[in-house]
Amino acid sequence: MDASVSNLRTALVYAVVVIISLGFGFAVATPQSLLSLASVSLMLLVLCLPILLRWHHALVICCWNAVFICFFLPGKPPLWAVLAGLSLGLAVVTRTLRAKSEFLHVRSVALPLLLLAAVVVVTISVRGIGGRAFGSELWGAKRYLGVLGAILGYFALTAQAIPRKQVELMVSLYFLSGMTAVMSDLAFAFGPGFYFLFLFVPTELAVAQASTQDTLMRLTGIAWMAQAGNWFMLMRYGIRGMLEVRHMWRAVVFVALFLVGLFGGFRSSIILMCILFATQFWFEGLLRTKWFPIAVVTGLLVGSVLIGYAEKLPLSVQRSLSFLPIDVHPTARQDALGTLDWRLQMWRVVIQEVPQYLLLGKGYTFSSTDYLLVQESIRRGMFTLYEDTLVSGNYHNGILTLLVPFGLAGTFAFAAFAWAGWRVLHRNYHYGPPEFRHINTFLIAFFAARMIFYLALYGQFDLDLMVFTGVVGLSISVNRGVCSPASGAAPKPDPAPA
């Protein structure tokens, strides 16, 4: 009897495998069909379901800053957004099956995000969503996904607390996952034999490398990798830990990563790091200590070396330094000034259009026909350089990329979220568990630096919102909610496994 049952079970397993194999083979044979893509996605989801059920929350954290994309889904959405939706769905299902909820409710943060989601949905219903991957003439659906994915991601991160023994590892992977951006530059540098990697990482990162390989040679992926490494070191060791004489290797590695990041040619890499270093210095309370003059001297030494040898550095590095009053190659300075000029011209035009979108935002959808025609006109010298950017709605300004698409309602919702998120980070910074002091210090410093940079210098709302929701959600998950003087003194124990 046992043998017959075993044989029947084996036969059923083989039957399921054969059916899946046939369906997968048929789908792969017609890869351009939406039905085939949906079939492949469903099969992969079924195969990965055991992993998702066990580690969905950890996967969201570990992939939050990774550049991986889901090439098998229409539009190639980012992996973190897909995982956020799946994780939140699994958390809701788990919640319905348990008597006790593990969700970490923070009403002051959740309500503004829900309001923002409602504004986005209303805007989509009025302005349309389109979708290039679905053959629509209207483009811009992926940018809506960035906003809604960031909101879903917050609730996915706060669906459960991180076990205390895993906090250090999870937070480290949260920031180190950004180093995956280097795969794009490496794939292009190693040649066609490695182009298969572009199935997993976006090609946009290699565009700057490909288009400037004969001039500036900008390495965007390497710059992002170095930036992620700097963030990790500031979180793990803090400024105080990196300036300790017995651990000088930390400062050497940090400075080396910072210098490598300059090969991206981004002036913002220096500015953002200076802002982050200043906020981190403030929240570590180092202004009136011996570490302040040490940090100033170290910064002056690094700066003097860069300034002294600026004209001998690679052109991409000179472009990063071009905003400083130093001598750099005319090619690097002209390239940097050119982008600044057309941005200023574009902002003058956009500001005049703001009043008509205060009540109901413009949204992210735009006509692909207009966009392609404008690009062709730019190539022929008929339009200015910023016209295609103006059509697509990527205004290179944090406030404009929020106010124009979503009006006053969306701006109010984001402002309310930012204030509530700041209060959460501030309380966790003051009252969080002592063993997580370095984490909470960096999270509030990072949030402050990115917010200053977003509002004052450069931002793109659909890309930057996930930075802010991620930091706030991670802080809540690490500290098991919002800490108070009592909770910081006596943290709650880990819940018993289900």
User: What whole-number distance in Å separates Cα of residue 16 and Cα of residue 25?
Assistant: 14
CA distances from 44 to 71, 133, 197, 270, 295 (A): 12, 20, 19, 41, 50
DSSP type of residue 396: S
Residues 6+ positions from 183 with CB-CB distance below 8 Å:
67, 197, 200, 201, 221
* Whole-number Å distance between alpha carbons of 159 and 415: 23
**Residue 52 near residue 44, CB atoms below 8 Å:** no
Nearest to 229 by CA among 180, 191, 188, 157: 180
Return the domain boundaries, the chain: 1-101, 105-489
Q: Which amino acid is at 20?
A: I
Residue 287 makes CB contacts below 8 A (sequence gap 6+) with 281
pLDDT given at position 123: 95
3-state secondary structure 323-363: CCCCCCCHHHHHHHHHHHHHHHHHHHHHHHHHHHHCCCCCC
Q: What type of residue sits at position 56?
A: H
Q: In this structure, what token pair is assigned to residue 4?
A: 């017959």
Distance CA 157, CA 23 (A): 34
Contact at 8 Å (CB) between 239 and 291? Answer: yes
For the chain, list residues with pLDDT below 70: 1-9, 12-13, 16-17, 20, 22-42, 99-101, 214, 385, 486-498
For residue 350, give the amino acid letter.
Answer: V
Q: What is the pLDDT of residue 34?
A: 59
What is the rounded CA–CA span in Å between residue 280 and residue 448? 9
Q: Can you give the pTM of this predicted structure? A: 0.88
Return the residue matching tokens 């229409």.
74
Q: Distance between alpha carbon 417 and the CA centroid of its chain, in Å?
A: 18
CA distance 405 to 461: 10
What is the pLDDT, as a whole number, of residue 494?
Answer: 44
pLDDT of residue 491: 47
Tokens of 92: 């809701």
Encoded amino acid at 260, one letter: V
